A and B are shown apart, each in its own frame.
Chain A
Amino acid sequence: MITFMNNSDSEEEPCNERTSLMSAESPPVPSYQDGLQASEAGEAQAHRKRRAGNSRGPNNIAGGEVSGSSIPVRESALENEEEELTLKYGAKHVIMLFVPVTLCMIVVVATIKSVRFYTEKNGQLIYTPFSEDTPSVGQRLLNSVLNTIVMISVIIVMTVFLVLLYKYRCYKFIHGWLILSSLMLLFLFTYIYLGEVLKTYNVAMDYPTLFIVIWNFGAVGMICIHWKGPLQLQQAYLIMISALMALVFIKYLPEWSAWVILGAISIYDLMAVLCPKGPLRMLVETAQERNEPIFPALIYSSAMMWTVGMAKPDTAARGPSQQTWDAAEDGREHLRSPLYAESQMSETRSPVPTRPVTSSDELEEEERGVKLGLGDFIFYSVLVGKAAATASGDWNTTLACFVAILIGLCLTLLLLAVFKKALPALPISITFGLIFYFSTDNLVRPFMDTLASHQLYI
């Protein structure tokens, strides 16, 4: 079975949930802490969890077991049907991920290209203590590698800390941490961003207006992300906070360190997902044992639009965002939600003429969206933003990285469909992105520039 693991992540840690289809819950999300001091380069373990798997869920959910264990029980016909359904709406889900990833990248690239603030060097985070101002190349490389080691160690430590917190059920602590992070992101970073944008375009804004704007933006954001809100508004907020976080990284990570960190995080992601003793795996397994939903606010959920076009709350699709702090209640709620949502949806499905209603199973499938952790958004945007910021004013590099990342995303989803087990989504995209960045910047750019100067076309 395919499991798309969500990668909810905090800037610091990756939280992967490798198991999959156990229930409608989203994978454990480590709390994230934003802040110029607290932010760390989170790894984006990009495991995406496919909700679809959850829909098969009713059998699994009841047992509360990992879906993998129920595979032998299934007949081969059912498996084929699963495969087929999986691939059939695979394309739709790929696009449902393409759109938000593209939007996030567009926001980041537009900001980088227009607002000078995010390309100015104004110091470094404490997580990258070594400076890159040295004249010799070897020293600079060494410093960036050391920065990467520091950053990744911090991430590992935070992840282990989070796993321990989760294991010993310190939910209030994690929840408080999460809320604090989103508060800082939604208010402080937005204030800084708005200030810089206004400065760039030389627009004056008085403090009362600013206060009202930021207050409304932040308050609605907190409600949408941590409680309930229209799905699209929630998605928009998640994209915006990912973009803000990516911009912070682009600004404060020194150049070479940023590239080495991107590479190292992909490798870490790969190892953390595929090695048996990783903290993330333990986190996931713990969450599965307890059959609990994970923390909201760090997973992007993209249920199908027309299912939430109605005014009813789409509990299945926005399960993770409706979080109560009673874990047991959460568990029950999520257990109920897939079946509940299905019946509601079959009613609302009939007035929609464009979609032929075939089987309830399919209905259930199509209702589910794909979930993607915010860390993926952040790191994809960091790569493309860095390409836009540092590629000698060249748009071709940015475009090449963009296409490479989308193709990596597509391939990852395809691999998930083929291998039917959780795979990290960062490595492929980031690898392609890095390859295309360096090769386009160094090889393609001179070629295209020469062609353009002679006005030749290939």
Chain B
Amino acid sequence: MTLAVFFGCTFIAFGPAFSLFIFTIARDPLRIIILIAGAFFWLVSLLLSSLIWFIAVKASNPQDEQLQKGLLIFGVMFSVLLQEAFRFLYYKLLRKAIEGLVALSEDGCSPISIQQMAYVAGVGFGLMSGAFSMINLLADSLGPGTVGIHGDSQLYFLTSAFMTMVLIFLHTFWGILFFHGCEHRRWWEIAAVVIMHLTVSGLSFCNPLYVGSLVPSYLLMVGAAAWAYLLSGGSAQNLRRFLLCLRSGASPQPGS
């Protein structure tokens, strides 16, 4: 555990998210505010779910391993559901905010669209979720120690970093999907997001059998990415034109 591990894991986990932040969010103050508010909503959902879990644990027998394990599973699932509930609440808040912005704007249209807000909200949720999962690990990785000396997996830091990265991406895509579902009243999109989230969290119970948790999560991420891209107005044509932008001379605008 050295600086190499620290920097490596930091960049694996947060590199893509920070690039997204710098290139798409940092320029616009409104987006930064939406990002921080998204992080706050995730935090509140975590707080409430921790409260419930804490009460349940305190009320139960600490010696009973099975019960504690069951309570943990319950805590994880409840937390996921609460996160999605808060995502919905955030959607409601942003809707109101858009109405306010439209009312106050000169030309009757909001400076930011609901799709952009969905993306930024997703990044906010993802960044906060990733930070809470990863920061303590990163701080510990700076200090002395040997990973897995008691027989646990030696890849703990690395896999945590990869898992964090995939979760941040997933939250971003889920934000887009969720808000789109709410906008167009497609409940099955919302249900799909919730089920995906439950799946990813549930798969993490396979750890340390990382092939059971990381690989499906990445596959789900690719699926969610494709779906979100399609919902945001992308298509195979757009993608092709983007990748060959030099030849066509007209690259599509990034973002929604």
List residues of A whose CB falls within 8 A of some B CB: 83-84, 87-88, 91-92, 94-95, 98, 393-396, 399-400, 403-404, 406-407, 410, 436, 439-440, 442-444, 446-448, 450-452, 454-458
Contacts and interface: CB of A to CB of B under 8 A. Distances in A.
Contacts of B53: 447
B159 interface: yes
B132 A396 contact: yes
Contacts of B80: 458
B140 to A, nearest CB: 9
Interface residues of B, number: 48
A447 B50 contact: yes
22 contacts: A83-B104, A84-B104, A84-B106, A88-B105, A400-B43, A403-B40, A403-B128, A407-B36, A410-B37, A439-B51, A442-B54, A443-B47, A443-B50, A446-B50, A447-B53, A452-B137, A454-B205, A455-B204, A456-B201, A456-B204, A457-B167, A458-B201
Contacts of A88: 104-105
Interface stretch (B3-11, B71-79, B184-192): B71-79
A395 B142 CA distance: 14
A455 B104 contact: no
B135 interface: yes
Given A83-B104, A452-B136, A457 B204 contact: yes
A444 to B, nearest CB: 4
B160 interface: yes
Contacts of B133: 448, 451-452, 457
Given A451-B76, A456-B205, A84 B105 contact: yes
B72 A456 contact: yes
A403 B36 contact: yes
Nearest to A95: B29
B117 to A, nearest CB: 13
B129 interface: yes
Nearest to A358: B106
B162 to A, nearest CB: 11
A457 B207 CA distance: 10
A442 B58 CA distance: 12
Contacts of A399: 131-132, 135
B246 interface: no
A444 B29 CA distance: 30
Interface in B151-179: 156, 159-160, 163, 167
A444 B46 contact: yes
A448 B132 contact: yes
B33 A395 contact: no
Interface in B14-60: 29-30, 32-33, 36-37, 39-40, 43, 46-47, 49-51, 53-54, 57
B106 to A, nearest CB: 7
A457 B137 CA distance: 13
Nearest to A407: B40
Contact of A457 (B49, B72, B75, B200): B200
Contacts of B101: 87
B126 to A, nearest CB: 12
Contacts of A91: 29-30, 33
Contacts of B141: none
Contacts of B204: 455-457
A113 to B, nearest CB: 9
Interface in B107-148: 128-129, 131-133, 135-137, 139
A106 to B, nearest CB: 14
B135 A396 contact: yes
B252 interface: no
B90 to A, nearest CB: 13
A451 B207 CA distance: 11
B72 A450 contact: yes
Given A94-B33, A442-B54, A448-B136, 7 more contacts: A87-B101, A87-B104, A403-B36, A403-B43, A456-B201, A457-B133, A458-B46
Contact of B207 (A395, A396, A455): A455
Contact of B163 (A95, A404, A407, A457): A457
Contacts of A452: 133, 136-137
A458 B129 contact: yes
A439 B48 CA distance: 9
Contacts of A448: 50, 132-133, 136
Closest 7 CB pairs of A and B: A95-B29, A91-B29, A455-B207, A447-B50, A457-B204, A395-B135, A443-B50
Contacts of B75: 447
Given A95-B32, A407-B36, A457-B167, A444 B50 contact: yes
A393 B138 CA distance: 12
Contacts of B70: none
A119 to B, nearest CB: 16
